[in-house]
Chains A and B, each alone.
Chain A
Amino acid sequence: MDGCRSGVPTYEGDLHVVAAAHHIVKALGATKNLSDDLRKILIDLDSHLSMITSNIDSKGGRGLVDVEERLDLAERKIMRWETDPMMIWDSGPKEASDYLEAVDETGKLVDGLRGLSVHENRKQKEILHRAMNIFQTAMSRLEEELIHILVRHGQQFEPKNMYSRSIRKDIVYDESFVSVEDEPTKETSSQNCSNDESGECIVDLVHADVIPDIKSIAKVMFTSNYGPEFCEAFISVQKEALEQYFSFLGTENLSIEDVLKMEWTCLSSKMNKWTWSMKIIVRVYLASEKQLCDQVLGGLGSVSSYCFLEISKATILCLLNFGEAVAMGPHRPEKLLRLLDMYETLADLLRDIDTLFSEEAGSFIQLQFHELLERLGESAIAAFKAFRVAISSNGSLYPFAGGGVHPLNKYVMNYIRMFPEYWNTLNLLLKNQHPGVADQVTKPDYGPDTSLLTSCPMAYHLRSITSCLESNLHKKSQLYKDEALQHIFLMNNIHYLVQKVKGSELRLFFGDEWIRKHNAMFQQHAMNYERATWSSVVSFLKDNNPGSSSMSKSTFKERCKGFSIAFEEVYKTQTSWSIPDPQLREDLRISTSLKVVLAYRTFLGRNLAYTDDKCVKHTVEHVENSLLDLFGGSSRSLRNSRRW
């Protein structure tokens, strides 16, 4: 240090040192793999050194003149565009690079002059102000060029076919993709959309060709301290583009109050739309936006993630708010599957969200996502509970006509048939939910070789639901005065239950044992029915004296009459009953036939002597045929229609 101060520099010596330093700086600047910070320092140093050179020169009277000449040249290049109606980057790459060169030159002059301004040279100050003025004009222009490029080369992509497979096939998707496909197809980069199985898909939101242009503008604006202007312009254009895309998807902002008041069908379709938009916005749009930010602003520290956050925040919050509104709405049972769709979508996207908003500033968004997921889960559980409550509290005042399959049973079974599709999620959500003390019966006592599926939480809850359903059906069966009809009703309904379980993936969760048990149950009801209806009828045909060959004529007559009346009565009543399942109906007829027709034939056979008597009202064949009319669902009378 001392050495430096002691030596009085000579004019020649100065020039040599400066020239040598300049040389080194230039050589260093040519090195690749420099960090941006270091590069900036070198550039600054470079301009500073060149200024010193000219300053030293100025002692000879030439320096400022040189600077002024350089500034004049740059000014001409910059100012000529101010009157030109064309945009620079539209005019060609040569124009653009010329312009950037002039801006760079002006910047260097400004930096150099500013480094010297301590000398309070009036002329120098004047040139500096002029240079800075030109520089501001250029920066302002670059901002405009940036906006123009972003808008002009911004691309929209078609969401069609994207994720359409993930919409479950058995759920009616009431908003078809037609509205989306009606939009005129632009020549977009959707062809470079690499849609693989997992649905990962990144598109170019801004045409790939102009990325280097945007980068070069970013570079010069950031090195000149105009970074904030760049960010503001970049954010506002991209934010608006995202909003446009958002409304292009058909998603609108709704207040929480509106969502809570919404009719179910409307809400259901909005929930579907949300699920769909959420996936596209996060996995495609935001992933692409993030890529764009990184491409343009990568290497500028946290700038890229700051811009990304500012661009996406409002739209994300908007989507989240709809989710919050749905989660806080009334927990109606029919909401369950839609809620599960939303829950699964969100759970599926969490990893993407955590990556997109990994920086600290984005942790707010991350947190909101996690909170919403929790809320949707709670809401789904509540809807699940509401479903159970709705099943047990479904009350009827009147018996269900005909004893067929009750609508509640149909609704519940068709609804839970879809549960296996959500079994992972349901298992997760229901893990800590006890089906309730009253449902101890649902615990499987299937022995050691219970499969994994029959003992998972969802299986417990499914069985708990059907057991709720069964007890409600039992309650409903009590409304019938006729014991036989009670059995027909239960037989029908339990048979339906078993059929639905057997015919779907539900069987894996209920297990063979459950199916066996319930098969036995409805068969028991069939037997009970036969006993309740036919025991008394057949009792007329019983031989009280098995030893003797025949009964007295008067007894026969009496028995015949009794049988006819009882049979006709049954016929009249039970033709109006219904067994919707043809196989079940057939089985019951056959077994009834076996019992009744056989007894009748035996009865008549034993008393052949009296069979020509008028007291035998029905032939065996007639009884057999009449039995076929039972359970048809419409009441008929044997006396009127089949008088013999």
Chain B
Amino acid sequence: MGCENIEFDQGWGEMEKGIEKLKRILAGEKETPFTSREYMTLYTTIYNMCNQKAPHDYSEQLYDKYKKTLDEYITSIVLPSLKDKHDEFMLRELVERWLNHKIMVKWLTRFFHYLDRYFIIQKSVPALNEVGTTCFLNLVYEDVHPTIQDIVLSLIDKEREGDQIDRALLKNALEIFVEMGLGQMNRYQDDFEARFLQETTNYYSRKASKWIEEDSCPDYLLKSEECLKKEVDRVSSYLHSSSETKLIKKVQHELLVVYVNQLLEKEDSGIKVLFRDDKVDDLSRTYRVYNKISQGLDLVANVFKQHVTIEGTAFVQQAEEATSNQASNTPGGHEQVLVKNILELHDNYMTYLNSCFQNHNLFQKALKEAFEVFCNKTVNGSPSAEILASFADHILRKGGSEKLSDEVIEETLEKVVKLLQYVIDKDVFAEFYRKKLARRLLFDRGTNDDHERSILSKLKQQFGAPLTSKMEGMVTDVVLAKEHQSSFQEYLRNNPDVHPGLDFTVTVLTTGFWPSYKWFDLSLPSEMVKCVKVFKGFYETKTKHRKLTWKFSLGTSHINGKFEPKPIELIVSTHQAAVLLLFNASERLSYSEIVAQLNLAHDDLIRLLHSLSCAKYKILNKEPSSKSISQSDSFKFNPNFTDKMRRIKVPLPPVDERKKVIEDVDKDRPYAIDAAIVRIMKSRKVITHQQLISETIEQLSRMFKPNIKAIKKRIEDLITRDYIERDRDNSHMFRYLA
């Protein structure tokens, strides 16, 4: 051979031999595989033809011939084979032809390999492999891909409806789409995936609209879970992995997002029924399924919130209706029931939160928001803060309505504190609680100190010291007062000549801790005047720097009534006692005479006289004996009064303090807002209006929720008082003035 140039036709003739052999192999005809020798000959032919000196360097022509060979093969063999086939058969044929084509390209590439090494780089033309794919793409794929897409989609549809299909075939077919992208996914996406996703959407939209009518909520969820599983399986079986996210999203949307409210609010099987029937599994499934959808849990949490809100509000309504159906003076039995119901509701849903909803913060938030709705409603004029305080009071009273064990009491008090977090007007609660605490400490002998301190420390922990500091002072006061009292007894023993002759105890309280009580300029009976004087004498030996203000309205007296049938001991308030003792000196007294002697205001006196002459126990006889007191009435001691007991308590109904409590709290709020603003300004020095507002609300949130107008008013006031000023250049900024 040596250095002789190979002529093109001659060389190509050699190649053609090899090519024909290859075609025969591909056609399945009897042929021996290529031997090493044959391969080397073909390779070398190309090599030589490319390394000859110009004009005998045939690289370009060979490159063209390579392409033409493929084109010609496709046109003459491949296309006709596809022409008459349909459906699955066409798919099968195409897959086979593509496989063959790839083999052909593989072998031809080997023969023509030398072109890949230099020519394609030199001329910046596509590599042989790429040319191979492009030929198929242009001549076959462009022609058939719409039909192929149709066939594939209809097979998928068949499978969705339950039929078995040839998954391997589909996998191979779809791989063609991918490979036709020459490294990009665009052919797969444009020629198949886009329509596939659309048809998937349509398919599941149809199914969903049918199932939502027919199926129960749990069944629907089960079906949805199944469908999603199947689709994931579909991807791993024959779709390209990149389709998974898009596909699942579409399916989730059609099945679970579009109909979420209808689904979860189903009358007979929706969320509320699942809760009612304690279907923990179904609830967990709901969470699980929606957790996989972006923002899916928001949807469920929303339905959850509405459900809880409706339940809570129903209890409130129940209490409202029950109370208004009864006489107005019934003690708040219905409110007690309401609080019990709400506590139970809370327990229940906290359990669900943990067992079904993984304590997810979206559900925590939903629960909180739901409770905030109905825990701030007024029931028959009583604000929720008062109701809660009454409930706590009821439990802490000696005995309560049922004999509860210490543990149960502790538990319940803990729950009350938890419930308080949902009440916005915590300062109103604190004030009602304080008033009731005062009554318990002063009148309810035998209150359990441990429980009292325990709930106060729980409140302090949750809501901070400002809420409870005064109350703690009150509890301590009572303990100290007992010590004082022992001291006083000792003093009396040591000074028998100053003993007033009456058995009496004094409870000294620190004014600042206790609720404010009206002061009455009551003229005491002389026996009591003596007592007061003696105590004053004693107290001055103890301390010179304190002033005593006597609140007789809080006192209790035991009076022996010498009634004709039998003597009875009367337990009355000191004010009532003052009225009764007047009758030791006079048999009959008119209203005006009583007023003159006692020096009380009409409202107060009427209440007292009513309790002694028109209520359950008629200690005094009234002329005329009408049901209410008028200023022209007269009163006489009733000697015939009797009762089966030897000792009775004559109640004096307390004045309705609700209005005053709310007034007092309202009066204090501006000061609290002022303090918060000044604190914030002091630490920040300069701040924007928005931030000031939001930080003020945040700081005060443990006590109440100030509205923006109230805060703005305080800002105005603080500006007038030169605590803060508005920035000259930035009208929305404020500066602290030291």
The answer to whether A and B interact is no
Question: What is A's interface to B at a CB cutoff of 8 Å?
Answer: none
